[in-house]
Chains A and B, each alone.
Chain A
Amino acid sequence: MTQIFAYVPFKNGVAGDVAFEFPGAAKKIDAGASVTAVVSGSGADLEKVANELTKVYAEVIKIDNTALAYPNAEIVRKALTNIIPADAIVLVPHDTFGMDLAPGLSIKLDSAYVADVVDFEGMDGTTLKLIRQELGGAVSTHVTCNAAAGAVITIRPGAFAPVDGGASGAVVDKSGDAGDLSAKRTFLEVVEAEVGDVDITKSDVLVSIGRGIEDEDNIEVAQELADAMGAVVSCSRPIVDAKWLEKSRQVGTSGQTVKPKVYMAMGISGSFQHMGGIKGNPFIVAVNKNPKAPIFQVADVGIVEDILDFMPELQEAIEEL
């Protein structure tokens, strides 16, 4: 029987959303697998999360140690290496913590490693078949993974439907098995994001710009359309990297989480890191000159045009209403 372990991160005593998506992913790997959640941390928060997870996992392993109070990937890796059997399949979220933890964990467990998986097509003997995306989501790939000696797999958040209850599991305390938790990397502090002049999280309509804006001067074109719509200008990561707009305007997993009614994605390719910042199922309009842009897979309405031509025309038409 396939043994699957799901490492569940949590914050402020609440399990990450992906905790409820792992069971669905595990089922697609092998419907008959045993699936065990693993949580590490310290104190009451850990206890609370472990108990919460028994509703969706048959077994929840708890590793309690003050060294694990903050999720330092090097320390978590050491604990997991001592507790998880090397030939198991280990699921980790593909987020900023998972990217820190999982590649090194696969080396220490001497397992295969597959990152950012969006779907599984099941096991064929010890070969796991799965689907990934490459080139920023422009192409998808079928991949085989030799899981005979175990595998560490990071799961794209949101790729699998969440489960709601269905189990009445038990918590197993393996704190004593964690071993040496010393580290060459020390956590210092979290520096909170600065608050910008405009709060994009409060706006019902966002005109959001990406690489397609081409030049800093063209941001004015988007601002004029936003003004005509009573909207606010937000952006994707490259605009912030180029320092054309401040970080507080960035939508995405590494930026702000927004919940508008209407999201105008202008010249945005639609990477999952960007889409991960859009919640609440808004009406998404995508305008992009590349007909193969991944954004067209997730938008409600798609328009293949150059935003620099399209935005002024749309603005004019709206002003004439």
Chain B
Amino acid sequence: MEILVCVKRVPDTAENEFELNSEGNDLDRDDLVYSVNEWDNYAVEEAIQIVDNLGGSITVVTVGDDEAEEVLRREMAMGANNGVLLSDDAFDGSDGRGIAAILKAEVEKGKYDLILTGAQADEGAGQVGGMLAAMLDYPYASLVNKIEPADGKIKVGREIEGGNQEMNEIELPCVLSIQTGINEPRYVGIRGIRKVASVEIPVKGAGDLGVDAGSVGEAGAKIKRVDYFVPDLGDGAEMLEGSTDEIIEKLIEKLKAKGGL
């Protein structure tokens, strides 16, 4: 099985407190900690397990700048065989559709049976997988939390409401977006990182991919982020302050009044 996994370098929500820059139009990015999008690690782990069982190879791809190469190396240290960086100034400011169009061009350069993405990334849209599938006319399933490959087809479980799971059979090639919890992504040690440190990662721009620069990037985007804003602290909640003892005293009174004790 030849598998392509689309990954993304994102600000780590567990490691950062997000502040606005002095102009108030973007995040203050100076001290942000970045990492691989959490969902993508599950997608790469799933690809590794499939290839361990059936043979084949895994390519990880990302659209980004030079720094995005670090997430490709991390996923290669995890077990992906190849990495490809899709990078061009013309790609800057792409909306989800633009990113999907860039990825489509790379998919068409190869011969993949299965394309995996994370269920969502930092923007929370969960859009690229479904768009990519529609552009390629491949079948698609989102929020996948179980995969059982069969001959020329694949059986997938999708997460639906209430803890239930929807089972589908899908023809290959297909695109699946992978939900967390499908597996336990393996630990990546420093030895693994060192092993792939000097592997060459090809970089492809709009010209290499045959992508019309005007159809992607800011020029091609139908969706534009104007600015960021952070809602005020305690907008909804009454914030309890003081020493821990004082806070606990106030809290206990409230819990008694509301039936919590």
Co-assembled chains A and B: yes
The interface of chain A, by Cβ under 8 A from chain B, is: 72-74, 77, 95-97, 99-108, 112-116, 132-136, 138-146, 149, 151, 183-194, 204-205, 211, 229-231, 237-238, 240-243, 247-248, 250, 253-257, 261-262, 264, 269, 283-286, 290-292, 296-305, 309-310, 313-314, 317-318, 321
**What is the total number of residues of chain B having a CB less than 8 Å from a CB of chain A?**
81
CA–CA, A286 to B251, complex, Å? 11
Interface majority SS (helix, strand, loop, mixed), chain B: mixed
Contact B127 A115 (CB under 8 A): yes
Across the interface, name the chain B residue whose C-beta is closest to A248.
Answer: B163
CB distance from A197 to the nearest CB of B (A): 15
Instruction: Give CA–CA (A300, B96) in the complex, Å.
Output: 36
Question: In the complex, are the beta carbons of B237 and A300 less than 8 A apart?
Answer: yes
Q: Could you say which of A95, A151, A241 has the most chain B C-beta atoms within 10 Å of its C-beta?
A: A241
Minimum CB–CB distance from A224 to chain B (whole Å) comes to 15
- B13 lies within 8 A of chain A by Cβ: yes
**How far is B248's CA from A74's CA once the two chains are assembled, in angstroms?**
53
Q: How far is the CB of B6 from chain A (nearest CB, A)?
A: 13
A297 touches B166 (CB 8 A): no
Name the residue in B141, B166, B233, B260 with the highest tally of chain A Cβ atoms < 10 Å from its Cβ.
B260
Asked if B27 CB lies within 8 Å of chain A CBs, one says: yes
Given the known interface contacts A205-B260, A305-B244, the answer about A285 and B18 at a Cβ–Cβ threshold of 8 Å is no
Contact of A297 among B119, B122, B161, B235 (CB under 8 A): B235
Assess the B163–A256 pair: CB atoms within 8 A.
Answer: yes
Residue B255 is within 8 A (CB to CB) of chain A in the complex: yes
Interface of A is mostly: mixed
Q: Nearest Cβ distance between residue B110 and chain A, in whole angstroms?
A: 20
With A100-B158, A103-B134, A136-B13: A145-B251 Cβ-Cβ less than 8 Å: no
Say yes or no: A116 contacts B125, CB within 8 Å: yes
Could you say which of B48-56, B58-66, B195-203, B217-225 contacts chain A?
A: B217-225
Asked whether, in the complex, the Cβ of B130 is within 8 Å of the Cβ of A136, the reply is no
**Contact partner, A99, options B11, B18, B142, B165, Cβ 8 Å:** B142
Inter-chain CA distance A171–B1, complex, in Å, is 48
How many angstroms from the CA of A284 to the CA of B236 in the assembled complex?
Answer: 11
Q: Does A107 contact B228, Cβ atoms closer than 8 Å?
A: no
Taken together as a complex, chains A and B put the C-alpha atoms of A314 and B245 apart, in Å, by: 9
Bound together, the chains give a CA A314 to CA B253 distance in angstroms of 12
**B contact residues around A318 at 8 Å (CB):** 252, 261
Q: Can you list 10 A-B pairs, Cβ within 8 angstroms, ordered by A?
A: A104-B131, A113-B131, A139-B230, A193-B165, A284-B237, A302-B237, A303-B240, A309-B244, A313-B244, A314-B248
Interface contact B239-A304, CB-CB below 8 Å: yes
Compute how far the CA of A112 lies from the CA of B131 in the bound complex, rounded to whole angstroms. Answer: 11
Inter-chain contacts of B109 with A (CB < 8 A): none
Check A140 against B237 for contact (C-beta < 8 Å): no
Residue B17 is within 8 A (CB to CB) of chain A in the complex: yes
Residues on B with beta carbons closer than 8 Å to the beta carbon of A103: 96, 126-131, 134
* A residues in contact with B210, CB < 8 Å: none
Cα(A241)–Cα(B38), bound, Å: 12
Chain B residues, CB < 8 A from A314: 248, 251-252
List residues of chain A with CB within 8 A of the CB of B17.
Answer: 290-292
